[in-house]
Structure 1
């Protein structure tokens, strides 16, 4: 078996865990990963590109969704509310605002100037109200230190924004640094220790560069990926130790993490790889990479387009 395939539970055939840009396009999405395609039960991700003046009608179905601008801005309209998302020039710019859409809802996403928008989703049970997420309220965390420094935009972290099952964050890694390190996993339900979460990594590399991402097995026959990732690529993590994600020298790496799982509690609890977890003990003695934050969160009222 190649290093980016694993067995598909539905038909016992191989499924590709490294999803290269363009290989999972379904009109109108340039990337469309749903639970069936991924071979799991909850996590989903779509990337929508709109030309100037275009719009898209979205039926949320049995999932909750967050509309997250990758580039450009949009207006999200539901029967009960309208949210104007100022967005941003690119994922390497400012933190963006976003909109939450509940299950069993109809919405329209329209963009006057055009843009690209991530739809991060999770199959869920509760129907929460549609809401606006202001950019200034997004917690920006500088995680790690030295060449393990990275920036985490916790826009829909488990303790930051209320969803039923969806957990989503953005990670920005300066050129030459390692993130998602030490390798860690969340594929078992161990109350208070580890949560079971299916995860999607969506990548963009500054300046059309290349990066690398590793998933190593945590169980016999588990996920095993060593991928050269480019802008528009995704990696599915059904199980296994994931990390590092390696940014090339001179080019920053962005990835969007989308997670959800079957547990009763929405929480992100991880176990470090036993051979690499020691690296965390070295961080207090090193400074955070001075290139971080790559761009500060926008001030209230500041134009983030």
Structure 2
């Protein structure tokens, strides 16, 4: 028993849940990187260039820079579009306008992959996320159009959700980075059954850190929360044989959960609001998402065979993106 405990990667020494704006730094609303204790394979930055919004960039911010580093990145417009001016390691200038969308709940967005060694500047009038992972392989800079993003419907019944493969191996050539986003209709559960990916078990499981960035929006026809009453969903994570972690959190728009390992899920949408989260994953091994379900809840997948998919999906509010 003593040997087994010593083999666990310690994960209780750091905080893995971060409320909105608690990770703000250098003009960014959120900065997740290797400066956080125990975190090494993934990163996330967000900036909201809109004025008057709580938790937005510092007043007067019109542009933010990304320095050249051994990091690959995916620029993801969350609400509105943005403009990216990038210079790759060979000195080539790339000026890319990302159309974006009205909100994270308005279908997939176009996005931009930046290879390692690229410096860039972001500007615009919306909210933008930048997913990151340490890397050295120089894959080409690539603008991924909205209609290139694969839309998947996963689960059944109250476990139905919609996944947008923004930067998964099926869509993007990269070294480490895996990026997707999930919309969970009001009242449904996603990241379910609870699962883990914290061990490199060839052909069975991959070792991946994971970031969850959350947003909530009143579902069509539902009343919005009155002023001062921020809607919230729920998110959980529990220990596995490889990772000690325990999270049972209320999650609100702008919050971040870090999952170094362990069985994580469900992410639960409240009855009146739809839940969105952006997932950033990367690890030291093969760039593939292989998972192990929590044994006590493996039966959940079999139950889906008897349930219809949620008729609210596919969930696409708008055909085109737009700047606010």
Tell me the TM-score normalised to structure 1 length.
0.90
Give the conservation status (yes or no) of the 8 Å contact 2:9–2:242.
no
SS of structure 1 residue aligned to 2:295: coil
What is the CA-CA distance between 1:160 and the residue it aligns to?
2.0
The residue number in structure 2 matching 1:63 is 71
Asked if 1:149 corresponds to 2:157, the answer is: no
Structure 2 unaligned residues grouped into runs of 5+: 1-7, 52-60, 88-92, 219-229
SS of structure 2 residue aligned to 1:206: strand
Which structure 1 residue ranges, 4+ long, deviate > 2 Å from structure 2?
302-305
The residue number in structure 1 matching 2:130 is 119
Superposed CA offset, 1:72-91 (max 9, x none): 11111123322110111111
SS of structure 2 residue aligned to 1:189: strand
Distance 1:49 1:92 in 2: 17
List aligned pairs for 1:149-188, cutoff 5 A.
Answer: 149-188=160-199
What is the CA-CA distance between 1:296 and the residue it aligns to?
6.3
SS of structure 1 residue aligned to 2:14: strand
Judged with a 3 Å threshold, the aligned counterparts in structure 2 of structure 1 residues 297 and 123 are, in CA distance, closer, same or farther, namely: farther
Give the conservation status (yes or no) of the 8 Å contact 1:28–1:49.
no
What is the CA-CA distance between 1:157 and the residue it aligns to?
1.5
Asked if 1:269 corresponds to 2:269, the answer is: no
What is the CA-CA distance between 1:38 and the residue it aligns to?
5.0
The residue number in structure 2 matching 1:3 is none
SS of structure 1 residue aligned to 2:109: coil
Judged with a 3 Å threshold, the aligned counterparts in structure 2 of structure 1 residues 204 and 164 are, in CA distance, closer, same or farther, namely: same
Give the conservation status (yes or no) of the 8 Å contact 2:148–2:171.
no
The residue number in structure 2 matching 1:89 is 102
Asked if 1:29 corresponds to 2:28, the answer is: yes
The residue number in structure 1 matching 2:255 is 233
SS of structure 2 residue aligned to 1:14: coil
Aligned residue pairs total 291
Query: Structure 1 stretch 254-263 or stretch 153-162: which is displaced more?
Result: 153-162
Q: 1:243 pairs with 261, 265, 276, which one?
A: 265
What is the CA-CA distance between 1:220 and the residue it aligns to?
7.3
Q: 2:112 pairs with 72, 96, 99, which one?
A: 99
What is the CA-CA distance between 1:31 and the residue it aligns to?
0.8
Tell me the TM-score normalised to structure 2 length.
0.85
Asked if 1:200 corresponds to 2:222, the answer is: no
Give the conservation status (yes or no) of the 8 Å contact 1:95–1:296.
no
SS of structure 2 residue aligned to 1:275: helix
The residue number in structure 1 matching 2:277 is 255
Distance 2:112 2:169 in 1: 16
Judged with a 3 Å threshold, the aligned counterparts in structure 2 of structure 1 residues 189 and 250 are, in CA distance, closer, same or farther, namely: same
Give the conservation status (yes or no) of the 8 Å contact 1:8–1:39.
no
Q: Give the aligned CA root-mean-square deviation in angstroms.
A: 1.9
Give the conservation status (yes or no) of the 8 Å contact 1:186–1:270.
yes
